[in-house]
Structure 1
């Protein structure tokens, strides 16, 4: 797997203060994507031991709520094995941290993937420029869903994460 960046102290890509891993590789090529440089799976840097150490160093901080996996698409087929191993390792070492995963795939296409069991929130669906809404928390277009994975599996139906109330 390759990646473009590790963003520290991010407040936009999930709940709380987070560290974000921007992986390479995406076949969706959504028009208006904010990160098309990540589409090429061969672009960026190898996600090696040093990159993982950098990511884990951030996760060790008490004030970091968790990690967000974005890109590109973490579920680009060539990324899935490495993302599965990374999610398992994060859950093993940082059980109090949450894992958010952004993907252009719909929940119905990915729910069966074993790695999804280690993810807390999936933001699913392609970015649709015509449905863009800059006021939506955690997503770029109205069609995308912020899915609470454990509750969805427990109830057997999609459970959306409640949106924050910024009016209080």
Structure 2
């Protein structure tokens, strides 16, 4: 997989101290994006799932947020990573709407393994500083129970 970085001890990417895995590459190119360096598919470094898991374990957190870029741009790698993180508290950010992912079998499998999904592109005119986790009011938060009901 192609990653920009793995960051320890984030307090803004979900509840508690979290390790954040930033995927490289994003097709959305949202105006006002807080991470435009993530847009280039060739950015960052190639990493194996084993290398990523080893780094996460060294950081000592069982709370992992997967962000980007756009993680679903590297769907096979995302699937392998999420599967390897079984037992971790996983938050997943995507610029896609949940409805766009539901017709894809592999995407559904990924969604069935996460604890929280934050979906939707960042829309600058809908930015709200008071929001927890999200950047704009159009972005939605789905917890595990909500995702399971939708996926049934």
TM-score (norm 2): 0.89
Q: Answer whether contact 2:127 2:137 (CA < 8 A) is retained.
A: yes
- Give the Cα separation in 2 of the matches to 1:34 and 1:154: 30
* Partner in structure 1 of residue 63 of structure 2: 66
Would the alpha carbon gap of residues 24 and 154 (structure 1) be closer, same or farther in structure 2, given more than 3 Å must change? closer
Structure 2, unaligned runs of 5 or more = none
Alignment map for 1:1-168 (pairs within 5 Å): 1-48=1-48, 49-58=50-59, 61=60, 64-76=61-73, 79-91=74-86, 95=87, 97-112=88-103, 113=107, 114-148=109-143, 150-156=144-150
3-state SS, counterpart of residue 109 of structure 1: helix
- The root-mean-square deviation of aligned C-alpha atoms, in Å, is 1.6
Unaligned residue ranges in structure 1 (runs of 5+): 158-168
Structure 1 residues 65 and 136: CA distance shift in structure 2, 3 A: farther
Greater C-alpha radius of gyration? 1
Q: Secondary structure at the match of 1:147?
A: strand
Count residues with an aligned counterpart. 146
CA–CA distance in structure 2, aligned partners of residues 155 and 43 of structure 1:
36
